[in-house]
Structure 1
Amino acid sequence: MSTARNNGFPAGGDLRLDSVIKAGGTELTIENAMHMGWVRQAANGFEWIGPGSHPEVKKNPDSSQISPAQNTQEPPTDQREESQQKLPEGVEPFTPEVEAQVAQAISGIPQPMISEAVVHVLEHGPESLNYDQLASLTGLSAAEVQQRAASVIGAFTAQADSIAKSMGIQEPQELWNWLHTNRGDAMKRAQRDMAFNRDTRMLRQLIQHAKDSLGPDEGSLKAAGYQTHVNDYGELLVNINGAWTLASVAQKMRLI
């Protein structure tokens, strides 16, 4: 329960039904854990009663303390698979290493301040953050605040770049520039979904929209193993099963 998060950030003592917890190597909401019989609501908070041993968690600042005695037994495989299926559609958490990196970066900073900073970055860009002001509010040095902010921003940027590359984009930054220019409002909504809900569906939709609008590029096709050729009219062709086809047509037909 000490791993509980609200909107992607550590929950501390503010546990809710939609708080996300880690159990058996996967993530699920407290509400889903209750449906599975792993958590029950007590008079003073939520109590873990499922496989393994988790401490009772109360809705106060002391609730994040870990019980000295912990059983590290994990739920059976079928239960882990079931809980994995309970994750909301579109949610893509970080790797455990990056999750730990982000958690450390925001450790000790009040949730409202984190949310406000995230909104500010989404609206005005990371360069607009006033690190001196944040330092005075958090008790940290301006340099440490800047370092922590860079760690969080870097985690989300790396995740977005990874998604873009998995969808055939060789230069993600060029894609982000195009989307900010041509689909700015939608891009901000996609970033907000990622930052607060870990939901990447809209980002993926925007990437596909950009690919359809811009057409395939020769570098991406070659990297994917396709033979390419530019004809006398400057049109990009791609070899599909021995037949040369306009790359734009092949993409619309979902052949590449």
Structure 2
Amino acid sequence: MHENLKYTLRLDESIKEFRSFNAMNRNTIQSRAEIGDWQPIYSDIKYGTHYFLYGKFLGEKDGDDFIINKIQLYLQNYTGSVSIGFNGYVAMDIVDQMDENDPDNDPRYTYRKKYYLHIGLEGFKMESKTQNYPEDHTTPLNIRLKQGDILITNPFFTPAIPDISLIYDNKNRNESNFVDDLFMERMGEDVFITPEGEEALINLHLLDLISEESLLTAGIDDKKEPTKTKLIKAKAYREARGITFACRPENAFFQIN
């Protein structure tokens, strides 16, 4: 049942592009429209912080289809002590043909496609609460969507404040003032990178988000093959430590207006 519960993402040419929170006069109709057009695409809890991801899918109709030229993302921290933000990485993968046993198969949408939106996040990043994809503002995405296509949002994390956690300092890690529990664990006097954290760091290296030098100083063999998820460079790491919600909101259904 739960895999069929989805957000509804409205695709509409009238959706306003977000400019800047600093430039907003929240008493004007235009600014209120910019805020009101953010649509939820994901929610979770990390570092004890409940956060939501919102998106704007900007483009134009072409017959019965909708062509997305730009995606804007916004992260709202709701509760918790650690502010989460974007680390700058966004990528999209397309599944042209779903397996017949896929729960998203629906006879009403014969040509349905799945789009995976990989979004990089990081703790203690309050200054980075918005993200554009593509970042250059000039190259349109030119992604053609049909009514009923599916978006799956796939966030992943890079280590937070490594100068304090000492995640990349294998020799002095036991002196860490912050044990990043997405990657690390404390056991008495010992602070170490977990097997899941090691796998995550290797995959972040495959995405060019962590240097080979950082892996080596963390005490990780950069030639080791990830065991649980053999991700290629086009894929983003999805945490293997389990989910916080029994039914985590991550899927969305595109509706063309």
Q: TM range, normalised to the smaller chain?
A: under 0.3
Structure of higher CA gyration radius: 1
* More strand by percentage: 2
* More helix by percentage: 1
Q: Name which structure has the greater RCO, CA cutoff 8 Å, separation 6+.
A: 2
TM-score normalised according to structure 1 size? 0.23
TM-score normalised according to structure 2 size? 0.23
